[in-house]
Structure 1
Amino acid sequence: MNNDHSARHADAADRARRRFLRQSSTLALLAAGGMALPAIAREMRSSKPLPAVRVAEPSQATVYVPPSRARGSAVLDVRNYGAYGDGIHDDTAAIQRAIDALPSTGGTVVVPPGVYLIDAEKSVRLRSLMHLQLDHEAKLVARSNAADRYYVVNAYKVNDVEISGGQVIGERNNHLGSTGEWGHCVMVRGCKRVTVRDMRMADGWGDGLSIGAADGSTTVLSEDVAVANVVCSNNRRQGLTIGRTRDVRVHDSQFCYTGGIKPGCGIDIEPDPIGTSLTDGVLIQNCWIHDNAGNGIQIYKEVHDVTVRDCRIEFNQGYGVLAIGAVDGTIANNTLAHNRLYGVGLRVATTGYGVDGNTFRNNKTLYFGVTNTTTTPITVTGTSVTTNPKTTWHLEITTDSVATVGTNYYAQ
């Protein structure tokens, strides 16, 4: 009986995650409706509207179930602590009172349907051993501010945390200042065992979601962070930043329409140049990364062991995937299409990368309409590329990078 109940629960959770991705994809596209697409995207797509979902749903056998985190059984409703959820009152203090009222063993803070205005300069500050559970019709919305830096939801040096449901919305369209790039919808810094799932993070002055280290007398990396079934759309700097961390897993998610300040990537894996710590162990799987002003995925210096697998990476204004100074990684079984620069670029001291099983189509659209002088794209099977640039419309490997290129599939 218990096994039957667990199976039914798992099936229901899988269906809910699939339904959320379909709904959130539509929301992301609607959000982008008021945002001017880059000229190349308008030219290539004006007569062909983007469908609601273009990532194939994973089979039942491959659906990723994100980990639950340890916490107590207490359940507190923010309405019982003074939250209005009417889009008029500032609900920051009320939500914080509910979080602070959890017992030492932790528990769940429930946010019912409604629009909750948040003073993002103060933030909703999470504690250890807790689940911030937003109803799917709940929104945490940042009030307008002029700050260079803000976090609507802030997890700082806490452990065993889960954030799920609803939407966290920044204020980039109503920002009162013109400087800074660190206004994030959700910040995870110096934390261990965190799950972020089934939610949308949009319109941040900086990132939708940022994961990194906490600095002080010692550096505390974020470790064991799972991101599943989220949509990050229309954020100004990055959809997702992964800084100094260990073991970050990103599954079944969408990162799109990023732009406003560089780098403008869907996902930027880039540790801050502080001390000797680095980023080690990142998996990005079954994600849809599209229509970003910069690279789809950027892997930038002091980053070890990144795997990008089973993703669709398309219509980005830079590379599909660009690695610079990165060590040991795998780019496999992805579709890389209609990116303005190369589908994959491995440059400047990138070593130990394997590129295999990918489908490349119509990349380097920066030169759309220019005759390609290489009639047959260069492929290297099972060979370490250490000399001579291997440059096509799809794949760029510079002479100081070392990569193994397996069997990929190319179309002009």
Structure 2
Amino acid sequence: MNNSLLRRLTSYIVPAISFCLYTGTCQAADAVVDDLSPKIFQVTTAETRPNDAVLVRGEYLDKITEIKVYRLNDDNVDTELPGYVPMPLEDGLLDHNGTDRRMKYATTGNGQSVDLIQQGNQSVKFIIPKALEEGVYSVEITGEKKHKSNFYVNVPKVNWVISEEGLKVTAGDYLRIQGKNLLRSGGKGQVALIPVGKRQVVKVKVATYYDDFSVSVNVPGNLTPGEYHLYYHNGLGGKTAWSEPLRVTVVNKSADWWGTSVFNVKDYGAKGDGVHNETAAFRAALNAAEQKGSGIVYVPRGRYMLTGELILSPNVILKGEAKEVTQLFWNPLNWDTNEMPASLISETHHFGVKDLNIWASRAWGVILTTGPLNEQGNVVLENILLRQSAQVSGMLYQVKPNRDVVDAELHSRWSKTGIVLRGENLKIRNCIFNSSGMYTFYAATGFIQNCRFERNTTGVNQPYMLVHPKGLIYEDCYKQGDGYGYASSIDESRNLYEARNSIPLTIPMTGNV
């Protein structure tokens, strides 16, 4: 069914359904409202101040005869059950995720009539009266036959949430809430959580405001796991100005999946002197952790030369003493042309690398998720200093034929070079990356925070970063400005919050996508 036909069917059906919900008495759609009365599909949802324009989209908007704007009172809601008024929804039924907390729209005073600007069949604009205070506005639209439609402006909207357990609410831990209109002057935001099918309410005040698109709350530790509806109030508009409900899952905080067992590589023969080949010792420690089922493969301070790939196991983390004193480096002359390993460090899921300095000369992939796509995810990269160079050695790379060979070698599998991670619960924090290859995050859920992404150029003009978000917070990072992008695939591109990132020759980016 095409969008135009769906919109027309929705425009006939939705008024009747809405009438049933409000009155409890169902009648035929044509008995409730004329089919040619204005139908609203979408309105401005970003912060709107006095003297700002509001865009309304829909059908038969040329039939509008009057628009009135009311500024709602900021009544205290600390002791009130949450109540909400659903926003218009394009190509869908009104309030499709609704609950019994839906309320009839409110107005305050007589309202102010406003001019209709650029009015047409499918859109109209109006200006919020300059004399009104900032706040939540109730808008009343009247059609030719006195049919009225209403919606709110500046009401909060919650799109998604995320915690250390992924796209879930974690009892006893922080919760990041992502949406719009979350921050207003006075800082009175709060969250209400109501178990599905029940009426008891747990309310939590906002602990940290990042901006209008992201806030954080501390979830009580005694919250019972299960399914809940989450509502948000930004402190303005009174008891009907809560966000529409978002259904969320509450879980208990889980223990670190790598456990507490430690496997020191020096106990398996590693020297850390920068001379001996340590590959066998590292693999022996990794194998011991695999046999245990989980563990920390610990690398004390020193320089460790490796000549082969390290394949980790689920629930295993490779951890150094600190990135300032523990270095792993791969001998760049160990592989013939086009015979480099696909990745130096890899696993499918539940693995990590922490507190290491990694020098990956002449390598394709450095850290990759491998295996079945639907199993990839749950990766931790923290406190890493990583450099990937395509060069064989400084002197050899100065010879143009040699340089051309290694550049072509890397270019031959560009999309699988560098760091390529996929899946849910990616946690990449406090790292410095300087890579000849790509930084690629497919279908990514999780956090990329306080990192620096630089490109160690090879002379190949290719993009160096691709981000395909499915619920990703990407903030407080530096990323080199040449050649990065976001996925165009609808299936792998939603719910991205990018803020306070520094990009050379551009301005910091903030917002939700």
State TM-score, norm by structure 2: 0.40
Larger-Rg structure: 2
Q: Structure 1 length normalisation: TM-score?
A: 0.49
